[in-house]
Structure 1
Amino acid sequence: MIKAVVVDDERLVRKGFISLIDWSSFGVVIVGEAGDGNAALSLLLEQETDLLFVDLTMPGMSGFELIRQVRQRFPAIRCVVLTCHHEFDYVQEALRLGAVDYIVKTLLEVENADETIRRLVERVKWEDSTRELLARGEGRVVAADLALIYLPRLQGGSEEELFQLAVTKNNPLITIQDMWMTPLLSRFTVDEACLEFTRILGGRWRAALVSGLRDRQLQEVEDVLGKTLRQALFYYSGAEEPARLNFGELKRMAGERHPAGEEILAEGLNLRWTLDHEAWEVFTSRVQQLQPGHEHITAFSQSLLQDWSRLILKAEESEQLEISVTGNLNWYPWKNWLRQFSGCVQRRMLELGLSKEVMFCLIRAVRFMRTHAGDKINQGDVAAEINMSRGYFSQCFARFAGETFGESLRSMRLELAKTLLLETHYPVCEIAGKSGFEDDRYFSRLFREHVGKLPSEYRAEGMER
């Protein structure tokens, strides 16, 4: 029998919950109850317990704190949340602390109580069988060569969805960090599972079929998958779903670091790949080879939008690219996104009637100006940097930027000043110098003219936010 304890500060609610369910029909016996967290901890010291139902909003020790202490002091006990709160963030915090499931008290009726407890008891039995199957000798090892790994594509994926799959009803389901693993201990047909996975979970989850796991320590498997699985799936080029991966290859990936992956993205900010086909092929193939993290790819795209939304991208193009970012869950949609960005750059070049080389020189000029906005640079310095005559550069730049060189550099310097005002404690007079302005009084007057307030007022309002 599964021994359970109910903890709720409202006695009538506690008694009502206990009397609502025919516990013995599920192999559960209520061995105790408590009205607060401290009483519950005292009871657990005396009474062997498998399952603890915990109300979250109790006076004194909250349900969150009780779950935290139970996980530390009685790690074999599973905690189930009793709550009136159905908000995801509220329940998610309890699950993060180690609760295995939750029950919304206001939604629990005679009609659905049995199904709720049946689901919970099945989960406990599955986890018990998992522990037995994974325990060999002193360590815990994976007893199967193949395992299915499930990852939610977006935040909010619940493991409850996974229990709808037949494969999880015939094999254990193990939580590994923010993913779940089913070692395939019973007979398993990949094609049938793929069809079931697609039909039930649709696009909400991604799965990987990992081989080479037999007799691996579970801790090693957890460490390696935590470090590499999302990265491997991000760059996975196969057509199969679930993706086919080998644990040995994942372990090799875990031991490698590719700082050059981040370097290739930093180099890509020069936009040469947007104008030249050969540069495009080199850039995209190097990204796929060096595999910078998906978070670095996302940051790279945000930099492109931030840097070029006004100078190159039209408002509607920028908006469309911003919207499509959220749907890029692996490298191949990202590659298409970069191709769209490249198309925008080339259309802008044709509209301006510029050659590829001149367009690239102007992009270089803007990047140089932004990098050195705080230095004493002028139009001649920038023209020399990109190997153009000053007169021709002035003409091309005005066409490209829609304003003169001086106006553009001044805007960059004011943006730099805004950043320094909010992110440093330098006095205003020093910020003027660091932003490229020699006269702090002129700087303050110009800042108010363009921003609508004095630098000191801008800083004060920013600190209040």
Structure 2
Amino acid sequence: MIRVLIADDEILVRVGLKTIIPWEQHGFELIGEAANGLEALELIRERGCDIVLTDIRMPECDGLTLIEKLKAEFPGIKCLILSSHNDFEYVQKALQLGAVDYVLKLTMEPGELLDKLIALKERITIENEQQLQASEREFKMSVYSREAKEKRLKELLVKACSPWDVEEFVREFGFREPVEPFYVVTIKLDRYQEELEENRFRSERLLNFTVTNIMVEIGKKYDACEFVEIDNGQFAILTSIDPCEMLTEIGSAVQTFLQLSVSSGLSLPLASLNDMHAGFLQAEEALLHRFYQGYGGIIAYKPDRYPGHIGPQADEEWLKLLELRDEAGVLERLNRWYAVSSTGQEHPDELREQWIRLVHIFANYAAKLGGDLYSIPLHADRYPFHAVRSLETLQEIYDWFTGWTRVYFRYIQQLTVKVWRPEIQAVIETIRSRYNENLKVFEIAKEIGFTENYLSVLFKKETGETIMDYLTRIRMDQARELLKDQSYKIYEISEMVGYSDSNYFSKLFKKMEGMYPLEFRKHVLGRG
């Protein structure tokens, strides 16, 4: 609806204008009437308006003054003059001031006034649409410009770039260089993947958007801060101030509003924007120490932080304890190894690989007894390789491994040379020979001559795992071997082991190995 105000000091004129036009029928809303310009301004400020029908001669504030004030305060309002025959000079002045048209009160016909109003309505509608489109274009350009700036700044941080690249960035985006010295900070959401899997925030994008908004709002209190989203729950900040107070406030806000913790890595003071990438690497290296320090801290970069090399425990010592079935001895050795390694002398990546090696030792011994690492019941819903590769702190790995060790010993105590019942052996042979097919439990049961429910319960009782878990394990065994051959694409391997959906295959693989198939291939071939 187009909002209309009538301003005239003659009450009969106001009453007449209100009654001779079917306002609502033609899309107009009368917001009120005024006896002078001051009353009109008060009503407009209170209710808003699109068209003003105003007399020229009014007490206190006449029509010309009203038009001038509206032009200054509400330039979008259209003024239609109500004039008398002897007001010609005033009408000319009103038109010069911005009035769009006029009508003579004494000779005015309802149809003439309505036509002028409808024309004004169409003009206002077009102008509003144009203004909306212009606003949308301006908003999009602002968003695109901001996104382009953030993308380029991210590249300068993450990749090694030349001084010319930095100069071009500053020039193109009018980037305000931070006062020297400045810092690069990396902030990472703790337990990020777990939070995504729990799906409390509905989407990864929404979670990162919320965290970014929190950082930006807090950053407004601190001068010369630039925020950039990196990926996987990680963000970067460029700041000219000592960031510890700001980072503490960000951590507190994220904990309060999202019930999440964040850890931060802090570079050394930097002297030039050309040092951005080096500063980012320092902040990343500092953040790695979260592996030892735990969650929620602010960690400053220290050169040569990891001078020592503890080295892996001797395989023979572990094997001896396993062969003796000495669960207490294994747990005691784990505790001693953890106590030595938790001093933080060794690079986290190297120590994590030593835990991976320990998993291999346990796996090889289970295989020697006829078992399989992936048939061991899960502990805390994690497979061993996935746990060691995905848990983010040494404390978490140690806690998980000690819990899993108890599960492991119960498993190997049950491992004996066992002759399966004929129907169980038939299921195993069917799966091993046809794992690449779209096997269904009810089809296997039908072939053997049992009901699906009975066979499922029997298989679980005999083997300790479900039929589908066994099928998944066999498929993943084959996938690990196929991944060593680079001639196969990931989607081809997925189909070769029985999965038509390669994304689903990749997610299952990561749940067991702690890395996606392509990462596993690079890791195995690189290590080899």
Identify whether the pair has TM-score above 0.5, normalized to the shorter chain.
no
TM-score per shorter chain, which class?
A: 0.3 to 0.5
Structure of higher CA gyration radius: 2
Give me the TM-score of the superposition, normalised by structure 1. 0.40
